[in-house]
């Protein structure tokens, strides 16, 4: 074999080149692990997200699921969400990280930011680089310290009485694009339905629990004071009205103490 040229079968095979890590604005997820947004991939992610959104026990759990699925499906580094009562007071807030929670919360403290603009104008707000964004100067100054450069804020359609927003953050500039907006719209349709259903279910459970407590309280008053059903309910109703306390609370206290409370501190 000395001096004879190696045949292709005798030579050691060259190792396959290592694939380059995915990067660029078309990808999402944690830095260095960005995912391509393609139709088939989006359909699979939305299908997987649905059970996480619709099977939560209450509104708070549903909103928490929304932000985590927002990162998973839309492909950001973090996300936050806020639900608002009719007069604009924050009712429920959730975030995937402490930094995202701060970034979202500060918008409402300063009364400026992409989520508030999205909420007011009812349109998606896409920010490709917060360092060059002229709107919301106080909020972008805070964001610079937190470490997010680009973001996508979306309004939640929760009907006439409640409102909400979801915001997805990226640590690098030029990350979100119009294709992220399209995916976010699809996800937030599911999110809005899931939140509305969770609120309706919670309200129904509360009503059933309250009615049950009132029935128990009526039974106690009927037994203790020799009242009939109508009289016992009227006692509870009048006591609730005179003390400016919810009827369900009065009933619960009667069940707990087996008598009408002496008095309530109406200044609470």
Look up residue 2 and give its DSSP letter: T
Of 40-44, 123-127, 142-146, 178-182, least confident by mean pLDDT is 40-44
Q: Is the pLDDT of residue 133 over 60?
A: yes
Residue 26 confidence (pLDDT) above 60: no
Q: In the beta sheet, which residues pair with residue 266?
A: none
User: Average pLDDT for residues 46-68, to the nearest whole number?
Assistant: 88
> What is the structure's pLDDT at 264?
60
**Model-wide pTM > 0.85:** no
**Residue 166 tokens, joined:** 């979801």
CA dist., res. 164 & res. 215, Å (int): 36
Q: Hey, CA dihedral for 84, 86, 88, 90, is it positive or negative?
A: negative
Please give the helix or strand (H or E) that residue 123 lies within, else none. none
Residues 20-55: b if buried by 16+ CB within 10 A, e if exposed = eeeeebbbbeeeeebbebeeeebeebbeebeebbee
Cα–Cα distance measured from residue 218 to residue 227, given in angstroms and rounded to the nearest whole number: 9
pLDDT beyond 60 at 180: yes
Residue 96 pairs in a beta bridge with none
Structure tokens at 198: 């969770």
Confidence (pLDDT) at 38: 55
Q: Which residue has the tokens 């059933």?
A: 208
Average of per-residue pLDDT values in the chain: 83
Instruction: Provide the 8-state DSSP code for 3.
Output: T
pLDDT in tens, 218-236: 999 999 889 999 999 999 9
According to the model, what pLDDT value does residue 143 have? Answer: 94
Q: Which H or E element spans position 154?
A: strand 150-156
Q: Is the pLDDT assigned to residue 240 strictly greater than 70?
A: yes
Domains annotated on the chain, with CATH: 30-202 (3.30.450.40), 206-257 (1.10.10.10)
Q: What is the pLDDT of residue 128?
A: 94
Look up tokens 């007071």; give the residue: 89
The single residue listed with the structure tokens 């990280």 is 97
Give the model's pLDDT for residue 37: 53
């Amino acid at each position: 074999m000395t001096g004879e040229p190696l045949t292709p079968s005798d030579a050691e095979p060259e190792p396959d080149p290592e694939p380059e890590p995915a990067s660029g604005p078309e990808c999402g997820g944690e830095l260095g692990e960005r995912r391509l947004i393609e139709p088939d991939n989006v359909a699979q992610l939305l299908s997987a997200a649905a059970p996480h959104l619709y099977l939560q026990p209450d509104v708070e759990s549903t909103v928490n699921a929304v932000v985590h699925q927002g990162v998973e499906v839309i492909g950001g580094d973090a996300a936050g969400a806020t639900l608002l009562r009719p007069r604009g007071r924050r009712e429920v807030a959730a975030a995937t990280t402490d930094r995202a929670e701060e970034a979202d919360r500060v918008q409402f403290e300063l009364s400026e930011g992409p989520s508030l603009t999205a909420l007011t104008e009812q349109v998606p707000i896409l920010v490709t680089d917060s360092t060059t964004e002229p709107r919301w100067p106080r909020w972008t100054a805070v964001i610079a310290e937190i470490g997010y450069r680009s973001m996508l804020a979306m309004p939640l359609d929760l009907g006439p009485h409640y409102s909400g927003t979801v915001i997805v953050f990226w640590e690098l500039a030029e990350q979100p694009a119009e294709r992220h907006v399209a995916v976010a719209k699809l996800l937030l349709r599911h999110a809005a339905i899931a939140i509305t259903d969770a609120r309706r279910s919670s309200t129904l459970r509360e009503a059933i629990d309250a009615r049950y407590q009132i029935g128990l309280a009526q039974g106690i008053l009927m037994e203790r004071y020799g009242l009939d059903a109508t009289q016992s309910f009227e006692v509870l109703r009048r006591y609730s009205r005179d003390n400016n306390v919810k009827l369900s609370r009065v009933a619960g206290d009667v069940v707990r103490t087996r008598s009408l409370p002496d008095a309530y501190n109406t200044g609470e």
